[in-house]
Structure 1
Amino acid sequence: MKKVFTVALLAVAAFTFQACKSGAGDSKNMADSANAVKDSSTKPAATGGIAAVEDDAQFATKAADGGMAEVAYAKLALQKSTNPKIKEFAQQMVTDHTKANEELMGIAKTKNISLPAAPGTEMQKMMTDASAKAGAEFDKQYVSDMVKDHDEDVSLFDKASKDCKDAELKAFAGKTLPTLKMHQQHIKAIQDGMK
């Protein structure tokens, strides 16, 4: 058993090294690679397995990546924006996404699913670009990014609420979806008001 664990650990290290070497070494990609090695649906005896299929684990990593990014970006908006509607929206993002992130972390822990430790490189670049802006220019960028992100979030969670094989992840997606749709409508209303 010790040998099997060592082989699995080496495989995770190799995947991680390869992801870093190829420039795709962000936290989400590393979590996806670790989960692929632990996927109990294809190799339970060799890995100790996870209690979810790979597609469900990928949903969890993508949802965690997006949730952490939304909180981080919202905190930046709370510092940089002077628009009270944007600040109100950003505070709601911190509150709602922190709660959802904590719930998802609890589910992932029971399923042995690795989640990213920090937002992925794409979102970090987006926040870096936005942080170089100020005033109305920052507000416009933040709102535009949040509209795009929430369109993607709603689509991701809608699909997961129908397609996840794991009952807990499916229920999490279905329970979180109405909140994401509310965020989507709220940020689009703010965007319409800025035109």
Structure 2
Amino acid sequence: MKKLIWNGLLALTLVAGYGCDSNPKASTETSASDNASGSGETSTASTDTAGTAAVDTTMNETPTSTPANDFMLTAASGGMLEVTLGKMAQEKGSNADVKAFGQKMIEDHGKANAELKTLAASKNVTLPVKLLAEHQKHVDEMTKMSGADFDKHYISMMVTDHQKDVAEFEKASKMEDPDVKAFATKTLPVLKSHLELAEKTNGKVAAK
């Protein structure tokens, strides 16, 4: 009888022990699964947050330039180039027509430069006080020339330069900025007359 009771108690102990061993294991597996799931959600949330921050930063960037501002900066340097080369034509040129053309550049572009400076100031745009690199290279190249060589190079360059100027001012005359548009529209006929005169003078110089 005692042996039966002992065996019964032993059996109950084994069953209880088996039950205790299995529950922690299941609990551990569930906890690991939950933690893995939680980590995945946290990682996704972090990625989403980073992505949103990146978008917000891009959206909040302030443009450093606008078509109107870029036009004024380029036009200012171009205008200074015309005046600088016009003065060089007076000193280095030998052809009377070339000298006369250079003088006209000094007068007309000097006036346009002053108007552009006033326009830029009204819009808090600081214009360059030195030539842009693309314009300075012309001055550097022509400094070494004089006489007939200067005449031919200068007036030929003036034809090409004013063709470019006319195209740029025509584009600017269609811009949304009303002030820049008005300036470009007003100056455009003057540039076209310069181009026509440059072509005629170039024909005379090339024929000699």
TM-score (ref. length: structure 1): 0.71
1:157 aligned to 2:135?
no
Give ranges in structure 1 of 5+ residues lacking alignment: 1-41
What displacement does 1:122 show?
2.1
Cα distance in 2 for residues equivalent to 1:119 and 1:159: 22
- Of 57, 66, 72 in structure 1, the residue corresponding to residue 84 of structure 2 is 72
**Secondary structure at the residue paired with 1:108?**
helix
How far off is 1:166 after superposition?
Answer: 1.1
User: Does 2:138 align with 1:126?
Assistant: yes
Q: Residue 171 of structure 1 corresponds to which residue in structure 2?
A: 182
SS of equivalent residue, structure 1 residue 165? coil
The AA in structure 1 aligned to 2:131 is P
Shift of 1:133: 1.4
- How far apart are the structure 1 equivalents of 2:101 and 2:155? 10
Distance 2:148 2:62 in 1: 52
What is the one-letter code of the residue matched to 1:139? Answer: D
1:83 Cα offset (Å): 0.9
Shift of 1:118: 1.3
How large is the RMSD of aligned CA atoms in angstroms?
A: 1.8
Distance in 2 (alpha carbons) for counterparts of 1:72 and 1:120:
13
**Partner in structure 1 of residue 127 of structure 2:** 115
The answer for the alignment partner of 1:193 in structure 2 is 204
Distance 2:202 2:176 in 1: 36
Say whether 1:82 aligns with 2:94.
yes
Matched, 1:91 2:96: no
In the alignment, what sits opposite 2:194? Answer: 183
Between 1:90-99 and 1:114-123, the stretch displaced more is 114-123
- Distance (whole Å) between structure 1 residues aligned to residue 126 and residue 176 of structure 2: 17
The within-5 A match list for 1:1-150 is: 43=62, 54-150=66-162
Greater Cα shift, 143-152 or 124-133: 124-133
Question: Which has the greater radius of gyration?
Answer: 2
Give the TM-score taking structure 2 as reference length: 0.67
Give a deviation string over 1:30-50, Cα, whole Å, max 9, x none. xxxxxxxxxxxx749xxxx9x
Which aligned runs of 4 or more in structure 1 are off by greater than 3 angstroms?
none
String of CA shifts for 1:102-139, please: whole Å, max 9, x gaps. 00000100101121111112222211211211211110
CA distance in 1, matches of 2:83, 2:145: 19
Aligned residue pairs, count: 147
